Each structure stands twice: as structure tokens, then as C-alpha cells.
Amino acid sequence: MAANGKAESPMYDYTLDAIADAPSKGVLNPPPRLLCGPGPGNAHPRVLSAMSLPEIGHLDPAFLSMMEDIKEMLRYVWQTNNAFTVPVSGTGSAAMEACVANLVEVGDKMLVGCNGYFGPRLIDMGDRYGAECIEMKKPWGEVFSYEEIKAALEEHKPKILGLVHAETSTGACQPLEGIGQLCHEYDCLLIADCVTSISGVPCHLDKWGVDAAYAGTQKCLSCPPGVSPLTFSQRAMDKLMARPDKVKNWYLDMKMVASYLVGSGAGGARSYHHTAPISMCYGIREALNIACEEGLEARWKRHREVAEFFWVELEKIGLECHVSKEYRLPSLTTVKVPEGVDSKKLTKLLLDKYQMEIGNGLGDLAGKVWRIGLMGYNSRFDVAMTVVAALKDGLS
Ligand code: PLP
């Protein structure tokens, strides 16, 4: 620094430009919300503690060993033996796009079940990667029957079928039993969106013949958003490995990501692709461990029992669910907004008065339903009853 306070070199000019004073905002203090909307739900306290542990390097043997634990536990919660089962860096949409970017080749026909908000997102992605996209439509809140899916496969002969297992916009659960096997008869891969089902709703990926599935952490796993589970079957891996071209997304190229997450170098050596989000990986590791400690059957049943209780209590205060009980998701309930009630006014009241977040309807269901999530850590009788009490007060 020269005696006049000026930097000697323009490369290291330490005087600030005339923009603004340092915009210091004080210590972060988010309001203590009870998150009962479509997600994120409240993270489990143990997950938050795990996320505050000291970082280690992403190539540290201890980190790689933890990554193996994550992969093993993910296989368990998804009931799959798929070797390629990993946490993708990014939220659920990143793993969703990873499915499309890696498995769709230019000109492939991609059929997608569109009975809510997230099917059209798959279509949008397929379109961007050069697929010939075909919408299979149903009203929001309904699901596709085996026969309807078979007829659509017969008519369009797609290379990929995308179905949303748990449609967060409608609260409907798409049955997937037998659908993978059906797809394989037509030489088609099945992609399933499990964002709102993973660990809270029965998922039997191998039994159902699902070839690719993606999920989020911020719903039934009760971990903040930031990494997203992804799995590919051998069929899906074979399609990816046989591609003559490069995957059209550098960050989400799973052949390259595998070199780090799976170890495809000599002797299984791992090489750097991108820096794994260390604290997020701690979070998902702890969230999966909590699910494993509870046991999957117990966890699925807890979600079901709490949801059934919630539905009965809703009925007692004169509220109705949008989806027929047979296909209703235990993790996310859409509740019909009664005639003459301003849905957004009620969600605002719950937030302001009770620090409670519930979701408004989306798309075709905007203004018609509320979306209430009782997921993971929040799938509890006390939380269900608190939501009912707040709704009752808000509607009185
Ligand atoms: N699919 C479904 C069914 C979802 O509910 C969501 C998010 O809520 C996504 C995909 C996208 O996930 P994210 O918002 O974490 O990117």
C-alpha cells in the first residue's frame, strides 16, 4: 500500500467503489414455523445437529465411507438392489433432470402421466433434451389404471414412461405395481417421481420394475432440501452406457458423476467431478439412519395411521378430502376449501397467528384445496391435531 493509501497495483485496489456501506443484517433468526405444507417439512433435530458437524474433505476416506452408507440406506428405503443409487447434488428437480438428461436421447418418445403439476415438468424437461413428448392426461387428483397405461404404451410405443408416484399438487398416489414389467414388454423404461413418497409411503422399486426413480429429502425424510436421491436399474444403466453421444448436461452427467460417487477408475478409484455438499450429505446420512432405526414398515405404517386419524378429525369439523380414499397419499392431503372461504386468507392467518405453514392449491386446484403435509418428523398425532385445531379456529 502506498503512503497515500492507494494501492500500488490496480490489481489490488483496496478502496471501495461508491456502491453502498456493508449491508450487515444482524444474526439470522428465522421464525419458528411448524411446516405442514407440501414441503419442506420441519427437519428432524438430529438431522440439523448432524449438519452442523465439522466438515471433512469430499475425497477423505471417511467421507467416501459415509457416502457408501448413504447409498446402502437409500437402497433399503427404496427397496432396491440397484448398484447405482446415489444422492445427487441439488434439490429434487436436479435428480428429476438427471433422469431425463441421462436416459432420454434425441428423438426418443417419452410418455408422461399428467394428472397434476409435476408430470408437465417432466414433459418440459424431456422437450429440452430433444424427446418427442406425449402427455397422458387425467383430471388432477385421479390416477391412471393399469389398462389405461397399457393402452397408451400400445398406442405410442414410447422409449420412456414417466409417472409421478406421489403427486404433491393433488395428494394422489399412483399405483405402480406391475407397471415396470408392463413397460419392459414394450421395451420402455419406467421413471418414477418419488419425491413425496420416499420413506413415508410404500415404495418397492425392484418389485415394481422401476428403472429410474428420483426423490427429495425435504418431505418424508425430514432433511432440508439440497441433495436428492436417484437410482438407475441395470436396464437404465445399459441405455446410458450405450449412448453414442455425450449427456447434454455437464453437471448431471451420471457417467461422470459415477466416477466420483461410485468409483469407476482403476481399482474403483474415485476422481473429482464436483465438490459434494458435505453438510447436506451429513444431513441425508442422519435422516436415512433415523428411517433405518425406525424400520421401514413401522415408518410407512406410522404415516398411514397418522393420516387416517387426520382425515377422521377433518371430517369431524366438516372438511372433505379431494382424493378418493383408495388413492389418497398418507404424506400429503388435499383438503377441499369450503364454499365462500378465501383459501389464501386462511393460510395467511395460520402463518401469522399459529406460525403454521400449510399450502395453497396449485394449477387446476388453485383456490379449491389446501395442501397439508404430515411427513417424516411431522407425521405425528399431536401435529395432526394441532393442524385440525388451527383450521377449526381459522374457519370459525
Ligand atoms: N416432484 C414432486 C412430486 C415434488 O413434489 C417436487 C417438489 O415439491 C419436485 C418434483 C421438485 O423437487 P424440488 O422442489 O426439491 O426441486
| pLDDT tens digits along 81-103 | 999 999 999 999 999 999 999 99
Q: Does 214 contact ligand 1 (Cβ within 6 A)?
A: no
pLDDT in tens, 266-318: 677 788 999 999 999 999 999 999 999 999 999 999 999 999 999 999 999 99
Q: Does 93 contact ligand 1 (Cβ within 6 A)?
A: yes
Kindly tell me if the per-residue pLDDT of 148 is higher than 80: yes
Give which of 286, 280, 221 is closest to 46, Cα–Cα.
286
SS3 229: strand
Which pLDDT score, from 0 to 100, does residue 186 have?
98
Q: CB-side exposure of 255: number of CA atoms within 13 Å? A: 17
> pTM for the full model?
0.96
CA of 391 to the centre of ligand 1 (A): 25
Interface confidence, given as ipTM, is: 0.99
Buried/exposed code over 184-204 (b: 16+ C-beta within 10 A; e: otherwise): eebebbbbbbbbbbbbbbbbe
CA of 167 to the centre of ligand 1 (A): 9
CA of 92 to the centre of ligand 1 (A): 5
| Mean pLDDT (whole number) for 157-180 | 98
Measured distance between the N- and C-terminal CA atoms of the chain, rounded to whole angstroms: 69
- Judge contact between 228 and 90, C-beta under 8 A: yes
Ligand 1 nearest atom to the CA of residue 164, by list position: 3
Looking at 11-117, list the stretches that DSSP marks H as alpha helix, in order from N- to C-terminal side: 45-51, 61-78, 92-103
Residues 190 and 205: their CA atoms lie apart, in Å, by 10
Kindly tell me if the per-residue pLDDT of 1 is higher than 60: no
Amino acid at 164: V
| Mean pLDDT (whole number) for 26-33 | 97
Which pLDDT score, from 0 to 100, does residue 347 have?
98
From 35, 88, 89, 93, the mutation candidate for ligand 1 (largest count of ligand atoms within 8 A of CB) is 93
